[in-house]
Amino acid sequence: MADHMIRAMAWGGRVRVAACDTTATVEELRRIHDPSPVSTAAVGRIATGALLITSMLEKATGREPMVTIEIDGDGPAGKLLATASPKGWVRAMVANPLATADPKVNGKLNVAGVVGTSGELVVTRDPGIGEPYRGVVPLVSGEIAQDLARYLLDSEQIPSAVLLGVHVVPAGRVGHAGGLMVQLLPGVSDEQAEELSSRVRGLGAVTSQMAAGAGPMAWIESLFAKDLTVLGEIPVRFYCGCSERRVETALMLLGADEVRSMIEDNPDGPTLLSCGFCRKEYSVSTADLRRVLRSVAAGGADDGPN
């Protein structure tokens, strides 16, 4: 089945659920970044997690709502970044895609081994109107799902269970990828919370479920046999919204010193810049770099007439 995400409410609106199959999307991320298997799992998990968190955004009439997750851990992968939209698109990157770590004793990919176990997880939730909400928590596990659950509890006061899984087959391709997020809203008793968390534990790994032919809808139905309202299902895909215009904005944010050194390194130009998310290359002429430099010097990183 094609990649998709399902949003639902259960127990009379006291439980919020999102579940997604991101297999083809994570395979696309792997094709773009060519990471090691364990870095594929890390980048796939952060991308899937960002998509799940978009389910918490309401529809807005302003700019496009977005969720960005940034993990800056002490592992060899370096910084990981993912941006997703409630429309179902996501993009992600990892600073050192070739980073590896020895497998865990059970033979599983050691995601915490490349991400690290100390550092920061930053979630920026831009509802598309008003100010974005930014929450920072210390990294606790490095496996990403637990770190996101910790963020949701500590920073948003929402007790949540998060499952993220990426199964990489021996050839290096992505066999299955997906995730599940279950959130307890006010009104759930401690006994109900305990019961639900044991049901979620009973699901096991989402990738094992997928290997057995059970997708996101089946997980949700197995957790909530009754009193379930499906809010919607959207297709999920990789998409990078980069453009020449945005490359210029990025250059302005880099600052005058950086742009000046690009001109010095290659005075005749053009300078090739590659998008970290999709690896698309942009050729920027020296005249354009100088124009950016003048604009930065004038203190303007605003969107001028183009």
Smallest distance from Zn ion to CB 49, Å = 20
Distance CA 299, CA 155 (A): 34
Judged by beta carbon, residue 242 or residue 256, the one nearer Zn ion is: 242
Q: Find out whether 44 and 174 touch, Cβ atoms under 8 Å.
A: yes
Question: Taking a C-beta distance cutoff of 8 angstroms, is the pair 3, 27 a contact?
Answer: no
- Taking the C-alpha atoms of residue 29 and residue 192, their distance in angstroms, rounded to an integer, is 38
Q: Which of 180, 184, 240, 293 binds Zn ion (CB under 5 A)?
A: 240
- Residue 278 CA to residue 109 CA, distance in Å, equals 24
Q: In the structure encoding, which two tokens stand for residue 209, read together?
A: 């479920």
Which is nearer to Zn ion, 149 or 240 (by Cβ)?
Answer: 240
Say whether residue 82 binds Zn ion (CB under 5 A): no
Cα gap 219→181, rounded to integer Å: 11
Q: How far is the CB of 278 from Zn ion (least distance, A)?
A: 3
What SS3 class is residue 196?
A: helix
**From candidates 275, 289, 292, 293, binder to Zn ion by CB under 5 A:** 275
Give me the amino acid identity at 292.
V
Shortest Cβ distance from residue 274 to Zn ion (Å)? 9
Segment interacting with Zn ion (CB under 5 A) among 115-123, 200-208, 235-243, 281-289: 235-243
Residue 60 or 242: which CB sits closer to Zn ion?
242
Q: How far is the CB of 277 from Zn ion (least distance, A)?
A: 4
Question: Which residue has 């453009």 as its token pair?
Answer: 243
Residue with smaller CB distance to Zn ion, 151 or 282: 282
Nearer to Zn ion, 210 or 251 (CB): 251
| Residue of 40, 277, 282, 284 interacting with Zn ion (CB under 5 A) | 277
For residue 218, give the nearest of 53, 22, 19 by alpha carbon.
19
Pairing of strands 237-238, 89-94: parallel
Q: SS3 of 17, please? A: strand
Is residue 32 within the footprint of Zn ion (CB under 5 A)? no
Cβ-proximal residues to 38 (8 Å cutoff; 6+ apart), any chain: 99, 100, 101, 103, 109, 110, 111, 113, 114
Q: Residues binding Zn ion: what is the number (CB under 5 A)?
A: 6
Binding of Zn ion at residue 18 (CB under 5 A)?
no
Question: Does the protein bind Zn ion through residue 278 (CB under 5 A)?
Answer: yes
Q: Any contact of residue 242 with Zn ion (CB under 5 A)?
A: yes
Quick one: which segment of 105-113, 147-155, 162-170, 274-282 binds Zn ion (CB under 5 A)?
274-282
Rank residues 108 and 280 by Cβ distance to Zn ion and give the closer one.
Answer: 280
10: closest CA among 273, 272, 227? 227
Residues 95-154 touching Zn ion, rule: CB under 5 A, are none
**Which of the ranges 9-17, 36-44, 236-244, 246-254 carries the binding residues for Zn ion, by CB under 5 A?**
236-244
Would you tell me which residues interact with Zn ion (CB under 5 A)?
Answer: 240, 242, 275, 277-278, 280
